[in-house]
Amino acid sequence: MADFMPDEPKTWTDFVKRAKELKKVDVLVAMGSISDWREGIAGGMWDCVRVLVELSVTYQTFITSAHRTPRRVEFLAHRANISNRIIIAGAGGAAHLPGMMKAHAPSIPVIGVPIIGNPPKTGLDGMDALLSIVQMPPGVPVATVGMGAAANAALLAASMVGLYRPNVRDALHRYVTHQSDNVPVAPPKFVMPKAKKAAGKKK
């Protein structure tokens, strides 16, 4: 009789090899699909990794879907749990990945990123992913960042890693200081647009 559980015969060996490297890094970055990576675009998991690199947080990336590769999800979450690693998980649509990872990794922090499809796939513009991730049942918490806020997930993870790695804490401090320094003190001096000025003079 056919076994309908996916057993991923082609990818399983490579996947397990990569998963075993997880113990060498700070954060597991998982995404439900290659379409969640979005190289060069803010809002995808690429943006999360960009910030992790900037803050010297080490990471290992994986594509694993709660629906298409459930065995990978279970294996990865378990390994992260026993290795005390932080999980960042991004998914779109019916985004069960962060919640499923938390179910299999109850002792460690899981940060969920609701991905907005680009182009939109579900017509719900990321609201489906946001609600799927944030509305976890009592006892199974997933820290949820805003829709497409993959960079914020990296900053949140860095603040956790910084609790035990001073170089990451220092890098985060520099990042935040730079961000503050780039906020102007006030908007430019107000200048009345010419048309309005002229109209104003006629009165």
Least Cβ distance, residue 107 to ligand RP5 (angstroms): 24
**Among residues 26, 36, 47, 128, which is the contact residue for ligand RP5, using CB under 6 A?**
36
Cα–Cα distance for residue pair 149/159, rounded to 1 Å: 16
- Binding-site string for ligand RP5 from residue 51 to residue 70, where x marks contact by CB under 6 A and - marks none: --------------x-----
Give 3-state DSSP helix, strand, coil % of the chain, rounded to 5: 45, 10, 40
Cα–Cα distance for residue pair 63/60, rounded to 1 Å: 10
**Among residues 29, 115, 130, 145, which is the contact residue for ligand RP5, using CB under 6 A?**
115
Residues 6+ apart with CB under 8 A from 71: 5, 6, 7, 8, 12
**Among residues 50, 104, 121, 169, which is the contact residue for ligand RP5, using CB under 6 A?**
121
Strand 110-115 relative to strand 86-92, pairing: parallel
Q: Which stretch binds ligand RP5 (CB under 6 A): 29-37, 72-80, 135-143, 154-162?
A: 29-37
**Among residues 26, 27, 32, 171, which is the contact residue for ligand RP5, using CB under 6 A?**
32
Residues within the interface to ligand RP5 (CB under 6 A): 32-33, 35-36, 65, 91-93, 115, 121
